[in-house]
Amino acid sequence: MRKTEWLIDVDQNSFDRDVLERSSDVPVLVDFWAPGCAPCQALGPLLDKLQRETAERFVLAKIDTSQNPELAREYGVRTVPAVKLFVDGEVEDEFSGALSEQGVRQFLDRAIPSPLDRLAQQAGILADQGAWAKAGEIFAQVLEQNATHVLSLLGMIRVLLNSGRAADAHPYFARLPAKTAESQEGKLLRARIAFSGGQVKENLDDLQEKVAISPGNLAARMALGHGLVKNERYAEGMEQFLEVVRRDKNAQESAGRKALLQVFDLLGPTHGLVAEYRPKLSAILFS
């Protein structure tokens, strides 16, 4: 043992036991290094530090390639440092060279999920199976321990939307990092929240009659558009939003423009209606 049972030196004789077999119970991160290698001297202490920080998230195994050339050849190590992650006896992920601390952290976050990440992944599987209530319970457990856990925030929003509780999704969406909120998934969820809520207080027939009697009633048109989109009558709803943009003196800041953009997010960039209505919107804005 090097320092602890989670930070070890490995050689040809102990490799099968300490790496291949143990990786069936816990991920084993193997640092192939060599004496006199400056990048190895930079990366090695950083890996030690991150292993200690993450406790029992993974075993860190060190292999001196100058003393164990057969292992280096077997696993295709041509330059050092080379870091390989073993799971169930196989190389699951890897990188070469001395990454920055941020780069190594990003690698670990992607390759070795934390206990909370694993819980959120389990909840995601339940959500995909339609077990919304159980998934919501697990996402809530994760968020009690980490209120900004992105995977669980996204999952909880999905649960609430699919349980008819769009209004309750707003606080969770507000906790998303800006980068996530502006991602394709974030924009889709924001659009689903917008068109799943309770903006429409009147039935569609009454709203259509109100718009017919008073075509300049933009509030009624917006409500009608929301109601139509909520009922998946997308083209009809988009027509109402487009007419709001036409009639609004401040078209660039029009509520109709913002609603149309949310419909684009809802349908996705490859949808035929998006291809049809995006140029129509541009023609009004830039005419």
Strands laid side by side in the 28-33 sheet? 7-9, 59-64, 28-33, 82-87, 90-96
According to DSSP, residue 7 is labeled E
CA distances from 173 to 72, 153, 167 (A): 47, 7, 11
* Alpha carbon distance 45, 51 (integer Å): 10
* Alpha carbon distance 61, 82 (integer Å): 12
Looking at residue 18, its amino acid is: D
For residues 246, 247, 248, 249, the Cα torsion angle rounded to the nearest 10 degrees is: 100
For 124-148, b/e burial (b = at least 16 CB within 10 A) is bebbeeeebeebbebbeebbeeeee
Q: Write 85-88 long-range contacts (CB < 8 A, 24+).
A: 85/27, 85/28, 85/29, 85/30, 85/58, 85/111, 85/112, 86/19, 86/20, 86/23, 86/27, 86/28, 86/29, 86/30, 87/23, 87/27, 87/28, 88/23, 88/24
Active site residues: 37, 40
Nearest-CA neighbor of 28 among 86, 109, 111, 107? Answer: 86
* Alpha carbon distance 188, 278 (integer Å): 17
